[in-house]
Amino acid sequence: MKGFLIDLDGTLYRGHERIPGAAQFIQWLQDAQLPYLLVTNNSSRTPEAVAEHLQELGIAVPAAAVYTSAQAAAQYLTEQSRGRSVHMIGEAGLQLALEEAGFAVDGTTVCDYVVQGIDRSFSYAKLTEAVRQLAGGAAYVLTNPDRLLPSDGGLMPGAGTLAASITAASGVEPVVIGKPSPIIMAYAIERLGLPAADVWVIGDNVHTDIRGGAVAGCLTALVLTGVATPDNVEAQLASAGVTPDRICRDLFDFIEQFERELR
């Protein structure tokens, strides 16, 4: 049996646009009773909000099938012994994940951690407070390193872009949780309950999805529907220095290649 760790942004949808083949691919997995988990570096939404967004796009998945970098960050912090107070730079998905894990999200006192994800209201004041918290001894945890995200109108800056400014100002490098970090990959593979060698990682980003899968010892498939496209794929592969096991036009193409190998 094979399991699947599937990216969201750029793989199943772009903003409010469903990518062709996405609904059919999820239905194919469900019909074949193949275990899967939707693993996203986007920390802004809760699993319930992600499932609702997918439902609006005609893709039916339960919230339990969604695993976000915010959840992984909360899981990572739970395993540490540093403390329970967090200065958060992020949005609702990250805040809820931290609070559900029992962390106090406080933006004013001296905190044990600075936890940062995507924050579309990021400001100079937030940058200043993060730098001061880190100077005071807080540990820096970054939900994901993505510099760019696919959206309705094209690419937009991601959490990694904000992190670059915090690191430049503070001199502190964060612990990175999301893909390609082995932290989120190990958590996701554990949830599937399969050996890494029996897990396909499918995504549109060579630097995060494919590198993360390769480092974890999984099979990898790059779809050319998001950050990677037919026009830039060669440059993307060269810059990342990693080669996926499969390169697919889209998820329809992945199904065809997968089923061809079973014949």
Task: Give catalytic residues, as residue numbers.
Answer: 7, 9
Say if CB 88 and CB 94 are below 8 A apart: yes
Q: Nearest to residue 94, comparing CAs of 34, 153, 30, 42?
A: 42
DSSP state of 131: H
Cβ-based burial of 56 (10 A; exposed 0-12, middle 13-18, buried ≥19) = exposed
DSSP class of 198: G
Q: Using CA atoms, how far apart are residues 210 and 218, in angstroms rounded to an integer?
A: 9
Cis previous bond, 180, omega within 30: yes
Distance from C-alpha of 240 to C-alpha of 260, rounded to nearest angstrom: 28
Cα(219)–Cα(226) distance, integer angstroms: 19
DSSP state at residue 188:
H
